[in-house]
A and B are shown apart, each in its own frame.
Chain A
Amino acid sequence: MQKKKCVAMLLAGGKGSRLHSLTKNLAKPAVPFGGKYRIIDFPLSNCTNSGIHTVGVLTQYQPLLLNSYIGIGSAWDLDRKDGGVTVLPPYAESSEVKWYSGTASAIFQNLNYLDQYNPEYVLILSGDHIYKMNYELMLEHHIEKGADVTISVIEVPWEETNRFGIMNTDAELRVTEFEEKPDVAKNNLASMGIYIFKWSVLREYLIRDDQNPDSSHDFGKDIIPLLIEENMKLFAYPFKGYWKDVGTVQSLWEANMDLLDKDCELNLFDQSWRIYSVNPNQPPQYICPEGEVTESLVNEGCKIEGEVSRTVVFQGVTVKKGAVVKETVIMPDAVIGHNCVIEKAIVSPGVYVPDGTIIKPGESENDITLVSEETIGELQSN
């Protein structure tokens, strides 16, 4: 097998419990986003566009849909004879079932996958962020700095620093301290959960970490602090551009709304950095004589008879006559019944919203309603 320069490991096991019923039957990376994509399309497309054609996808929670979605990777041009995409689920070894207990344990349990490629570098990604990034530039930065580890960072608003892992660096961008969700942060450079490791270093630290009974086997909590403590060369790579963790209903809704902004940095129409996806084969969208669509994204196979504004509409959606939908995300194959009024909501895939349903935001400005089978049931019983 040809020696690989860089192999990507994509952590896609996230349960995403803060997305509530959206992740009841599917892993967070498989959650639909942006009218036609799934979250995992972003890191996978970034890999292809960055020239990284060997990607291990580590799955764990509700993997069925994710596995069949990834398939042989052809949607992202990752169906390669040498390399390509490989789904890496947890497995049983002799009498022991090796469930992934943390991000580091997930990679550790797939050392044999990495060993077979024996790459120079390993890129570690998570499957729940929306962004476009050229990993090749980050790798160049890593090589230039002679780093053992490079961690991609982004400036976050100061008031949100307590939600992130914060990197403190010197003038050369060398990481001197890592603080997980600090109360009072010394700076606003947050880790994006994207790491490039020298493979030899990663291998050694993963083995040591596995033998440490006190470790929680997590990159942020265990591996990175230990590397800093032992004075290894860790560098920050400042990323400028759109990046969003879509782990909550609110942030998922916000990221979808961001796409409606014409000047959004996450330009889906950029031909030079396409986001690839499994394309549904559906007829073009049909806007009826009574339909009206403004400031929205609408995918194929939709039938719009009502009024839709500032809304992201996935494939196969029907909005019936008299319905008014505003600032909402309608996921695939959902049906909005006649004369419904829906504002600031995420409508789950395949949900049938009965005629005349009214869903409006509550007291709080940022109250986003997740419309699922359960919500509909509650509304009807009230």
Chain B
Amino acid sequence: MNKQLLGVIDATTVHDDLQELSIHRSVAAIPFGGRYRLIDFILSNMVNSGIQSVAIFPKFQYRSLMDHLGSGRNWDLNRKRDGLFFFPAPNLDKHYTGIGTLDHFADNIDFFERSTQEYALIANSYTVFNMDFQPLLDWHIKSGCDITEVQKEGKSMGIYLVKKSLLMDLVMTRNETGYSNMRDVVTDIDSQFHLCYYNFEGYAAMVDTIENYFRTSMDLLKPEVWKQLFLKERPILTKVKDEPPTRYDAEASVRNSMVANGGMIEGTVENSIIARGVKIGKGTVVRNCIIMQKTQIKENCILDSVIVDKDARIEAGTVITAPAESPAVIRKGSVQGVGSGS
């Protein structure tokens, strides 16, 4: 492949409205779909599109993100040549906005100088989609564009394709041009560049509020959606764990739900996403919920429209319900219900 792409993932974004889920982790590392993290989608798309060098630019709370990505082995990015690179922001006081902050790139300009790829794909870390970037690259070259923005129904998806040499020019001249990120470059009406827009036809959802996190998760229960996201030929890769298959008890009743491995289901589960290693006790009803990794829900609870973060414990007999349009969030590691003192 001579028309190679460099992958650049901006993982600096903070969405205030996702704070309940991002107190301990960057938005990129928010668990999604029972066994994934949000960043898995863009990262897998890059790898599946033949991108062999990916740079991650995180800023806040990136411990869980680094733990998740590790050496990049699960994405086949543990390479001697190219592979996965991690460039945390050195300066936490500087406020970044938009996707692809040029200051952040400037701090790591050596990386761009050294990399051999001719083009760079700059993307956000919180979009749930499955996209092949090769047709985008072919189209970009054929159309003679300087910068291509990927859009969905006329709205920016926060993904930009640019020649690496032009990206480096943008970084070098950022003080003269006043452009601080890729959005500034693309939205400048006096721009001297040939700007193009590429429409993505498939399913795509940007997760930036609790409401759309919940809605996007629930979308996974629609076969027409998961058929677009989970393709055999372009799998969404993630950090794999050695969990046994999920065990369903004699009294278990599970309908219209996605369930990851390592679970023990004794109760009733409907319209829900159940992550790895979750225990749901006898007589408990979990409906329209997202239950994250290793959470335990004891006997005779009722949960409706609740997002339960990792490692939480819901004591027996607890009832938590919320309206579907504003789901309740139970924080990571917390204990809820009888005897919990809360």
Contacts and interface: CB of A to CB of B under 8 A. Distances in A.
B252 A288 contact: no
B270 to A, nearest CB: 9
Nearest to A278: B240
Interface stretch (A147-155, A157-165, A229-237, A269-277): A269-277
Given A274-B242, A279-B242, A300-B261, A291 B248 contact: no
B33 A283 contact: yes
B262 interface: yes
Which of A35, A279, A281, A312 has most chain B Cβ within 10 Å?
A: A281
Interface string B225-258: 0100110000111101110111111111111111
A297 B252 CA distance: 12
B246 A298 contact: yes
Given A279-B240, A281-B238, A281-B240, A297 B259 contact: no
Interface residues of A, number: 34
Interface string A269-313: 100001111010111111111011111111110000000000011
A358 interface: no
A201 interface: no
A298 B255 contact: no
A287 B268 CA distance: 12
B248 A296 contact: yes
Contacts of B237: 281
A291 B255 contact: yes
A293 B240 contact: no
Given A281-B240, A286-B226, A294 B249 contact: yes
B245 A34 contact: yes
B33 A284 contact: yes
A284 B34 contact: yes
Given A283-B236, A287-B254, A287-B257, A298 B230 contact: no
Decide if the interface of chain A is mainly helix, strand, loop or mixed.
Answer: loop
Interface string A160-198: 000000000000000000000000000000000000000
A38 interface: no
Given A281-B74, A284-B34, A292 B242 contact: no
Contacts of A268: 244-245
Contacts of A283: 33-35, 226, 229-230, 236, 258
Interface in B254-289: 254-262, 264, 273-275
Contact of B244 (A35, A262, A285, A296): A35
Contacts of B255: 287-289, 291-292
Contacts of B252: 293-295
A268 B261 CA distance: 12
Contact of A294 (B35, B221, B223, B250): B250
Nearest to B238: A281
Contacts of A279: 240-242
Contacts of A292: 253-255
Most buried by B among A284, A287, A298: A284
B185 to A, nearest CB: 36
Nearest to B258: A284
A282 B236 CA distance: 8
A35 B274 CA distance: 19
Contacts of A53: none
A344 interface: no
> Top 3 A-B pairs ranked by shortest CB distance?
A35-B245, A268-B244, A279-B240
9 contacts: A281-B238, A283-B34, A284-B259, A288-B223, A295-B248, A295-B250, A295-B252, A299-B245, A299-B261
